[in-house]
Structure 1
């Protein structure tokens, strides 16, 4: 997260990774650059970035709107009384953090991909929102990643220690885990929060363009900038992805072991064995769904962490490789933030049944009652007329 010079402009633009965990937005925040007569030929990645920017500008708002709706549906279903469990508490807060990530990205995408684009100047109000976006998006999406790690840990403990799992992974501990994750992530993101400052430049025609920059005017801020980059790359990207990859393998192994135990139980012809087999099959379905959620996170976040780490080691890599791929990584991350609703509906019968009961059965009943009342009113009116 540092200054980079766009080859088509004379002024430095700031590249803002939307999160350490969330989109890596390569969008330049200073949108007022003037043309440079000595343009250098663009690389293949730069050409791709320029072409994909228009696609991302139209796709991102649509993905955000659909993702916000999907995460709201997740919250409504997962908070029903029949759905309350330690796992679903973590999934609820994951939906909250994912939804919050998309809510702060939506205005950003509209403002900076459709309204304040070259050669228009960026007003102070937009710069203030960019400051809010740069800070809040990192926090909420980092919370999403570590909640996913917590979810994987809870699930592994639950199936690895079936007798003590319910006690070790209680509802109280799930709520405590959410609180600790939110607190620790917020503290870890403080260096990122204090790294930015508002800057301005003359945009011509008596206009001033405002943007945000990374503070590096003193040795302390220069150190903070580098320190923050490593924190974002390692603590908020690579470490959780490494843990999620290990936990995914462990969960898959536990599922295979559980399936072996279930087949042995099926050979026993008694009701207790059949009940245990049914419970084991249900547990495996839930675990399989969570493994898919975890794997999607790993596939989305690991490339960003590696690119960010390489960018911290080599500034040229940051500007030539990491930055042009920012919009693409943003799209993938936003898609991942909104896909969980589809996974829950397709892979969890309990979630699907509860969703149908809330949004289909009750609506059908309400519509039926309305129609019946209207019919009764019509009949009463006819009797009165007679």
Structure 2
């Protein structure tokens, strides 16, 4: 099924955009309700059953994840921008925390409105013009900030690979100024690349008849497929999202991560050989610096691994959606909410990784927050006067 046919075969009545995809509650194939015998893929009926089971809980789970994730990313930004934490790597991590936080900020009202407050079924109260206009904004905004997060992860891995592969050149090539430029370009270029996504979707109303014979409208976000130009833009945007936004960075990160691990092993062997020839004092200094570098690199590799764990399957699903007939409505849509919650969780976990794997981050966090809390506690704690004790 072509991308244009995918949109034309949607059920008019309920379609929501989440991240880079539309999800539906009522699945129909060529305008008729799907039964177990009408599915084209083995296990598709089980996926549909899973979606029906999970969807009522998704909004509440997503709301909790978003609130915790927003707080976690705010803490990341505060700690990573301290004077003692300023570096090229932390600059990129700060940009990543901003984009992850914005993704969660955008998803929170979406989950509350279209899952929690008015349920998941289409209704006049749920599908108002104002609400669907917000959905249109969310559909565009979330794609931009999520894409920024993806490519900032790639930028981070490239910087780290250069620094480990060429330590002397890395100090010159991977400077703080260049990291700032890289973060800025990621935001600007992503905004430009996502322009086709902005122009290919719109708000449309479907007239309905009320019991008193009055007419009212239910509003939806739909793709614009009115002419040949709209169809071309839709197809062009689909392949940009599937390949440039998903598969290319995922494949690139996989290759870079493998090269980074190999380079780390070579660097370790080289350093061990140098230590044998250097003085004891110099060896201890080099060893301390090497351990810190390796801890940082391992932490970033875990960040990349968790990113690939959530994004690579979604990239493959996106690609198959444009190649295989009936794949969207039978496989991709039922997995839409699950894909979303995994992506949201991935936007939250970096704070835990930084605290558990970076002593400098942990010490800075304690110095900023816990030390101040400790001082405030001491102000209100009564210290008993000391008394002499007998020997």
Q: For 1:1-386, what aligned pairs fall within 5 Å after superposition?
A: 2-3=6-7, 5=9, 11=12, 13-19=14-20, 24=21, 26-27=23-24, 39-42=33-36, 43-116=45-118, 117-121=120-124, 122-205=127-210, 206-267=215-276, 268-371=278-381
1:119: how far off?
Answer: 4.6
2:358 & 2:23 partners in 1: Cα distance? Answer: 36
**CA–CA separation in structure 2 for the residues paired with 1:316 and 1:15:** 18
Q: Is the 8 A contact 1:135 1:193 kept in 2?
A: yes
* Alpha-carbon distance in 2 for matches of 1:96, 1:38: 44
TM-score of the superposed pair, with normalisation by structure 1: 0.88
**Partner-residue secondary structure (3-state), 1:211:** strand
Distance verdict in 2 for CA 1:128–1:15, change over 3 Å: closer
Tell me if the contact between 1:4 and 1:319 (Cα under 8 Å) persists in the aligned partners.
no
1:194 CA drift (Å): 0.7
The question of whether the paired residues in 1 share the 8 Å contact of 2:147 and 2:245 is answered with yes
Where 2:34 maps in the other structure, the secondary structure is coil
Q: Which whole-Å deviations, capped at 9, do the CAs of 1:272-330 have from their partners, x for residues lacking one?
A: 12111111111000000000101111121111111111111234111111111111111
- 8 Å CA contact 2:16, 2:221 repeated in 1: no
Give RMSD over aligned pairs: 2.3
- Residue 260 of structure 1 and its aligned partner are, at CA, apart by 2.0
Pick closer, same or farther for the CA change 1:257–1:102 going to 2, 3 Å.
same
SS at match of 2:150: helix
Q: 1:338 to 1:232 in 2, by over 3 A?
A: same
How many residues are treated as equivalent by the alignment?
A: 362
SS of 1:213 mapped into structure 2: strand
Whole-angstrom distance in 2 between the partners of 1:119 and 1:353: 50
Q: Give 1:207 deviation, angstroms.
A: 3.1
Task: Tell me: CA distance 1:38–1:78, structure 2 relative to 1, closer, same or farther (3 Å).
Answer: closer
Q: CA deviation at 1:366?
A: 2.8
Unaligned regions of 5+ residues in structure 1, if any? Answer: 376-386
Could you tell me which runs of 5 or more consecutive residues in structure 2 were left unpaired when the two chains were aligned.
37-44, 385-391
Q: Distance in 1 between matches of 2:69 and 2:381?
A: 34
Preserved CA contact (<8 Å) 1:97 1:140: yes
Query: Secondary structure of 2:167's partner?
Result: coil
Using the size of structure 2 for normalisation, the TM-score is 0.87
Q: CA deviation at 1:164?
A: 1.8
Q: Which residue of 1 aligns with 2:40?
A: none
- Taking the aligned partners of 2:198 and 2:32, their CA distance within structure 1 comes to 36
Equivalents in 1 of 2:296, 2:24: separation in Å? 38
Q: Structure 1's 317 and 142: CA in aligned 2 closer, same or farther, altered over 3 A?
A: same
The alpha carbon displacement at 1:190 in A equals 0.3
Conserved? CA contact 2:306–2:346, under 8 Å: yes
- CA 1:141 to 1:82, structure 2 compared with 1: closer, same or farther past 3 Å? same
Distance 2:69 2:201 in 1: 28
**Alpha-carbon deviation of 1:39?**
4.0
